[in-house]
Amino acid sequence: MKKRKLAALAVGAAGAAAAAGVGESVYFYRRTMKRNHAKTDRTMKMAGTDWTQYADFIAERKAYLLQQPNEEVSIESKDGLKLHGRYFPQGEEKKAVICFHGYTSDGMKDNLAISNYYLRKGYGLLLVDARAHGESEGEYIGFGCLDREDALRWLDWLIGRCGEDVEILMHGTSMGGSTVLMASGLELPKQVKGIVSDCGFTSPKEVFTHVLHSMYHLPAFPVIPAADAMNRRLAGYGMDECNAAREVQKAKVPILLIHGSADTFVPAFMCEEIYRNIASPKRMLIIEGAAHAESYYKDTAKYEQALDEFLESLNQSNCKSENNCKNENKGES
């Protein structure tokens, strides 16, 4: 009788532990993967970047941006969602950049500062709201895995707007950085000339595992496997189904990676892993002391210099491929 009682207690304890694990997984999933449950203030707290020190700089850049001619645009995703963006045309619209924002943000927040750089360089600017963010539809966050397919739709829209001879750059920050890296493994239009990823992660699974370990001091099991199963059923993709470090092995366009050495949210070792795997021409800049998504603000001059050099390398590459460079040695113009 005593043995039966002990066995019953053991089974009950195991059941309670399993129930607790399921409850913990469901709680984690709702807080991270579902619209209106994933909160911006919580993300900012986890990221740990002190944005108050840049408030005046950001406000100045925002005021300038909103003074520029712009228009609201929308497309439909492959699965029928209406996605929202804002387009800022420049000149003859023969150069354009699409900017992708980070987790729980929107197109008009993460890209305020960097937009000034591209406008000064004569690039038309398309700021998009990822699915389940901003004014775009969607219940489940795509974490780059779904957003990379949406990126193809945005590229089609931009080519239709600017013409077949437009030269396009893709620039993403955090989740947006992962989006453009994951998109590098797809068959991109020939108009895409380069990709810039700022503090992108390898995969949702790996970044959430890191967060659980470093911030909550919790093991990945059972939360991550359970969340993965739920996400496959509800959102239609696995949390390591699309991994930036794997996708860049198929990349054909040049890639510039930028990351902060003091990033505790998406650690710099993810950037280094991605860099090692890139198959196309590649560059990497690590900004010393920069926290998550802080690199541009921490050292604007170095960041813009890296962009200048990257864009110049793209121009040279494009020039050679089209055989229309000026040959100064021969005095040709």
**For residue 271, which phi and psi values (nearest 5 degrees)?**
-60, -45
**For residue 20, which phi and psi values (nearest 5 degrees)?**
-65, -40
| DSSP assignments along 201-240, one per residue | -S-HHHHHHHHHHHTS---STTHHHHHHHHHHHHTSS-TT
Neighbouring CB atoms inside 10 A of 251's CB total: 21
CATH of 34-203+242-321, one of 2.40.30.110, 3.30.1540.20, 3.20.20.70, 3.40.50.1820: 3.40.50.1820
Name, in order, each residue with C-beta under 8 angstroms of 260's C-beta and a sequence gap of 6 or more: 199, 268, 286, 287, 289, 290, 291, 292, 293, 294, 295, 298
H helix intervals, the chain: 2-33, 40-47, 55-66, 107-110, 112-120, 147-162, 175-183, 204-214, 223-234, 244-247, 268-277, 295-298, 300-322
Which tokens go with 160? Answer: 């239709």
Question: For the segment 236-281, what is each residue's pLDDT rounded down to a tens digit?
Answer: 999 999 999 999 999 999 999 999 999 999 999 999 999 999 999 9
What is the per-residue pLDDT for 94?
96
CA distance 154 to 147: 10
pTM: 0.89
What is the per-residue pLDDT for 20?
40
The closest alpha carbon to 93, from 188, 154, 158, 151, belongs to 158
CA distance 92 to 192: 17
The closest alpha carbon to 247, from 172, 144, 97, 110, belongs to 144
The closest alpha carbon to 110, from 47, 23, 34, 68, belongs to 47
Where the chain has pLDDT below 50, the residues are 2-3, 5-21, 327-333
Q: Tokens 């699309």 belong to which residue?
A: 242
Which tokens go with 167? Answer: 């030269």
What is the per-residue pLDDT for 6?
40
Which tokens go with 317? Answer: 């590459």
Give the DSSP H/E element, type plus range, for residue 85. Answer: strand 82-88
What is the per-residue pLDDT for 324?
55
Going from N- to C-terminal start, the domains of the chain cover: 34-203+242-321
What is the per-residue pLDDT for 182?
98
